[in-house]
């Protein structure tokens, strides 16, 4: 199944999240049956990242957004853990600092855009300023509309400079969110993730859904598409995201660059060094 075509938010379309089943799981019935395919994509990501890093003609920006407990941290771990950390950064955008608040909302984001050869993963992102800011009425719809245009321009500039942008909304049901909150209570290793805000924000579920629908509809473009990933099943979320990212990287047609030195000269030096080392070892004996 081609998840890129199935889950893309069509540019100039109107997203309705209620029309997308968050429990969708494709042709697989379980984590176990999906595991070999996921591992195939994880291996492909590792190999493609090596090409990206060596060629240094492209960059990859991955944006993860979703309601609380939708699985952003899990996606970073289980999908993008396949990347070599030498060429990948994960950036989490929290509440703006006082300094950041005194600048335009994109000021804190641009320095984290990936350089050529690198992957950047935004765990939350510049979209917080048209999502949580809107839901909590820190900005009105007119300001949001203006910010949508600024975001489109920002992402267009990155794309024009060689950055492939892939944006994922991790779509879970309200019932699944509550179930995950319960698991955090029952697991001492995850108690630290519990926050009173989880429950106060949950009361604003419908407002968040509307904010996401508007933001994704307004900012899914040919150069920076959004994908709505059914995420009630964590293993399916990982499978879909890994397939989409691997497919987009494959389409870049990357190749290892030609050597920057004359290999015949380097081989002669290598064999001369071997001979010298062998002669030195012989004398020592």
CATH number of the domain within which 124 lies: 3.40.50.300
Position 280 scores a pLDDT of 72
- For the chain, residues with pLDDT lower than 70 are 282-285
281 is a domain residue: no
Q: What is the pTM of this model?
A: 0.94
| Contact between 248 and 62 (Cβ < 8 Å) | no
Distance in angstroms (rounded) separating the CA atoms of residues 236 and 168: 14
Position 222 scores a pLDDT of 94
100 is a domain residue: yes
CA 88 to chain centre: 11
283 is a domain residue: no
275 is a domain residue: no
Q: At what angle do helices 31-55 and 234-250 cross, to 10 degrees?
A: 30
Distance in angstroms (rounded) separating the CA atoms of residues 37 and 92: 28
97 is a domain residue: yes
Position 224 scores a pLDDT of 97
Q: Which domain holds residue 109?
A: 3-260
The number of folded domains in the chain is: 1
Position 197 scores a pLDDT of 83
Distance in angstroms (rounded) separating the CA atoms of residues 211 and 203: 14
Give the Cβ contact number of residue 52 at 10 Å.
26
226 is a domain residue: yes
Q: Residues 72, 73, 75, CA angle at the centre, nearest 5°?
A: 65
Q: Would residue 139 be called left, alpha or beta, if left means φ above 0 and alpha means ψ between -120 and 50 degrees? A: beta
237 is a domain residue: yes
273 is a domain residue: no
């Amino acid at each position: 199944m081609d998840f890129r075509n199935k889950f893309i938010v069509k540019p100039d379309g109107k997203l309705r999240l209620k029309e997308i089943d968050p429990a969708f799981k494709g042709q697989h019935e379980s984590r176990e049956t999906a595991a070999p395919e996921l591992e195939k994509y994880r291996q492909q990501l590792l190999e493609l990242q090596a090409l990206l890093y060596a060629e240094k003609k492209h960059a990859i920006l991955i944006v993860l957004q979703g309601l609380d407990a939708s699985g952003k941290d899990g996606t970073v771990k289980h999908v993008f853990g396949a990347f070599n950390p030498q060429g990948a950064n994960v950036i989490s955008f929290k509440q703006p600092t006082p300094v950041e608040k005194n600048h335009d909302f994109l000021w804190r984001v641009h320095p984290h855009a990936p350089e050529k050869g690198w992957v950047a993963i935004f765990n939350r992102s510049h979209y917080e300023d048209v999502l949580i800011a809107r839901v909590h009425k820190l900005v009105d719809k007119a300001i949001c509309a203006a910010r949508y245009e600024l975001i489109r321009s920002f992402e267009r500039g990155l794309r024009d400079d060689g950055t492939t942008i892939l944006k994922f909304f991790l779509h879970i049901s309200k019932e699944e969110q509550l179930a995950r909150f319960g698991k955090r209570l029952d697991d001492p290793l995850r108690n630290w993730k519990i926050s009173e805000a989880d429950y106060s924000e949950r009361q604003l579920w419908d407002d968040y859904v509307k904010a996401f629908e508007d933001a994704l509809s307004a900012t899914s473009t040919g150069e920076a598409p959004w994908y709505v990933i059914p995420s009630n099943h964590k293993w399916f979320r990982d499978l879909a995201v890994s397939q989409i990212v691997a497919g987009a990287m494959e389409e870049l047609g990357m190749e290892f660059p030609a050597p920057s030195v004359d290999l015949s000269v380097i081989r002669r030096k290598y064999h001369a060094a071997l001979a010298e080392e062998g002669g030195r070892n012989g004398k020592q004996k």
